[in-house]
């Protein structure tokens, strides 16, 4: 499993907004500048996050984006599943995947299923609030 740029940027944006949690809307231009992400690319990501209720968007003067709920109520797994579609480590575990012709003889299925469950379980336990804490900069998370 490799998390795409879209998934990584979505997390960065959500953390950015969680760190600056206010009632005001944060303009796209400000988020893009802080995160070093192209406004055009960021606009597509934000559109997805708004459509699925993770963010509120407001156009015009004083407009921008803000979280719809407290940061502790966002699971990282939900954000990544929204942007990635799947976190499965192999194709046979993807949602809606066709049955594998080798399933009955597959010696590695249990391995991949266990890895899938470990990834999901870990990402279900981490919230946006966990990542937005000032002491979480860098690589201090250990699996």
C-alpha dist (Å) from residue 49 to 6, 68, 122:
11, 10, 22
Q: How many C-beta neighbours within 10 Å does residue 102 have?
A: 11
Residues 17-27: tens digit of each pLDDT: 999 877 889 99
Contacts of 26 (CB under 8 A, 6+ apart): 16, 17, 20, 64, 65, 66
Alpha carbon of residue 111 to chain centroid: 25
Residues 23-40: tens digit of each pLDDT: 889 999 999 999 999 999
pTM, entire model: 0.85
C-alpha dist (Å) from residue 27 to 41, 48, 50, 126:
15, 16, 14, 27
């Amino acid at each position: 499993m490799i998390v795409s740029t879209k998934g990584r940027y979505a997390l960065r944006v959500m953390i950015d907004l969680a760190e600056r949690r206010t009632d005001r809307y944060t303009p796209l231009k400000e988020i893009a500048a802080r995160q070093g992400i192209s406004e055009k690319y960021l606009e597509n990501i934000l559109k997805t996050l708004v459509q699925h209720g993770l963010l509120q968007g407001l156009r015009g003067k004083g407009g921008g984006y803000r979280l719809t709920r407290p940061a502790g109520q966002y699971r990282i797994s939900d954000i990544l599943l929204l942007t990635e579609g799947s976190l499965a480590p192999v194709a046979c575990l993807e949602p809606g995947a066709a049955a594998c012709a080798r399933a009955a003889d597959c010696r590695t299925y249990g391995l991949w299923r266990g890895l899938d469950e470990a990834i999901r379980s870990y990402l279900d336990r981490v919230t946006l609030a966990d990542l937005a804490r000032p002491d979480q900069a860098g690589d201090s998370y250990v699996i």
